[in-house]
């Protein structure tokens, strides 16, 4: 039994296809097939049921793969310990980011961290929160950036920054005349939301609990991007909420329609999340330091750290 054989089996269990698993493992299909078969022969069991399409795990195979993931993770920890001891920040690091954070945060830190750590190879994916958690549990991601708290077992959350929300209220709305808003001001407005699956949508519904309990016609317009929501608001179809960093890239005309909330404003915590195994911790520490330093300097609301019970946003 070898670590390589275990890695090939894990890849096959994930992709359920020999060709794809070999491609993702950067080997030929015959090589991967042979090594998987050798492991099965050594254990004298079948890990995969090849009669099914796609390939399926046998009952004992599921247990083998679960153990294989742990063994491979622990084997990687040895090199990780050496790297941490040497203070080496480099190699491949797989990072996931939620869609409502990726467009604004990535340009802020990517150049800085690659310049500071030239040996680091970041592989970045945009995924929703459920996908991030699944990939972290399976070991396919080293860490992720998501809105928290998530309260997931075996997942560590380290806050990077707290991001306030701003309301986008065009001149056609009654709220446009106000300088500051409260969450109660939103109760009678048509609210434009992101589509299901976005945690930011849950943020808005939690801020307006009366509407969260029973969605009305105000919630029939849903989109996957903040830009679309802003365009719809400009057409007089309602108002929307935006995370602070997103508003920094808006046009000056659109920024005139932004309204802040009375202190303490509603906000979301954006955190670096990773498995409790703490693999590649030195890279996680480096990423946390760079991002938190850059963003906290950019956000004007430095003291937004404690949100009142009324405005606290739980995901």
Please give the helix or strand (H or E) that residue 138 lies within, else none.
helix 129-138
Query: At residue 105, what are phi and psi to the nearest 5 degrees?
Result: -80, -45
Q: State pLDDT tens for residues 54-111.
A: 899 999 999 999 999 888 877 877 777 777 777 788 888 999 999 889 999 999 999 9
Peptide bond into 54 cis (omega under 30): yes
Q: What is the CATH number of domain 3-83?
A: 1.10.10.10
Q: What is the pLDDT of residues 202-239, one digit of tens each?
A: 566 555 554 443 444 444 445 567 888 899 899 988 88
Q: Give the residue extent of every domain in the chain.
A: 3-83, 89-162+268-298, 164-261
The third-level CATH classification (topology) of the domain covering 89-162+268-298 is: D-Maltodextrin-Binding Protein; domain 2 (3.40.190)
Is the pLDDT confidence value at 280 over 60?
yes
Per-residue model confidence as pLDDT tens digits over 12-25:
998 999 999 999 89
pLDDT confidence tier of residue 271, bands split at 50, 70 and 90: very high
Cβ-contact 109, 247 below 8 angstroms: no
pTM score above 0.85:
no
Domains 89-162+268-298 and 164-261 share a fold: yes
Superfamily of domain 164-261: Periplasmic binding protein-like II (3.40.190.10)
Q: Which residues pair with 163 in a beta bridge?
A: 268
């Amino acid at each position: 039994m070898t670590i390589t054989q275990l890695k090939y089996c894990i890849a096959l269990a994930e992709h359920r296809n020999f060709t794809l698993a070999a491609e993702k493992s950067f080997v030929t299909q015959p090589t991967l097939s042979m090594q998987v078969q050798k492991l099965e022969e050594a254990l004298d069991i079948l890990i995969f049921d090849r009669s099914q399409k796609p390939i399926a795990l046998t009952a004992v195979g599921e247990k083998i793969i679960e153990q294989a993931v742990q063994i491979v993770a622990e084997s990687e920890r040895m090199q990780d310990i050496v790297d941490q001891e040497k203070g080496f920040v480099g190699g491949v690091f797989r990072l996931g980011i939620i869609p409502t954070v990726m467009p604004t945060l990535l340009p802020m830190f990517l150049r800085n961290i690659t310049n500071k750590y030239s040996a680091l190879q970041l592989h970045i994916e945009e995924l929703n929160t459920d996908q991030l958690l699944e990939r972290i549990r399976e070991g396919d991601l080293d860490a992720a950036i998501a809105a928290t708290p998530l309260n997931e077992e075996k997942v560590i959350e380290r806050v990077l920054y707290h991001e306030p929300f701003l309301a986008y209220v065009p001149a056609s709305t009654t709220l446009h005349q106000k300088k500051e808003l409260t969450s109660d001001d939103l109760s009678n407005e048509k609210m434009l939301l992101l589509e299901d699956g976005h945690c930011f949508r849950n943020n808005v519904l939690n801020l307006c609990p009366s509407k969260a309990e029973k969605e009305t016609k105000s919630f029939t317009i849903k989109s996957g991007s903040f830009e679309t929501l802003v365009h719809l608001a400009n057409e007089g179809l309602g108002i929307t909420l935006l995370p602070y960093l997103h508003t920094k890239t808006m046009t000056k005309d659109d920024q005139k329609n932004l309204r802040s909330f009375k202190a303490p404003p509603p906000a979301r915590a954006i955190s670096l999340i990773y498995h409790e195994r703490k693999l590649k911790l030195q890279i996680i520490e480096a990423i946390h330091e760079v991002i938190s330093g850059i963003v906290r300097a950019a956000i004007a609301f430095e003291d937004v750290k404690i949100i009142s019970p009324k405005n606290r946003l739980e995901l």
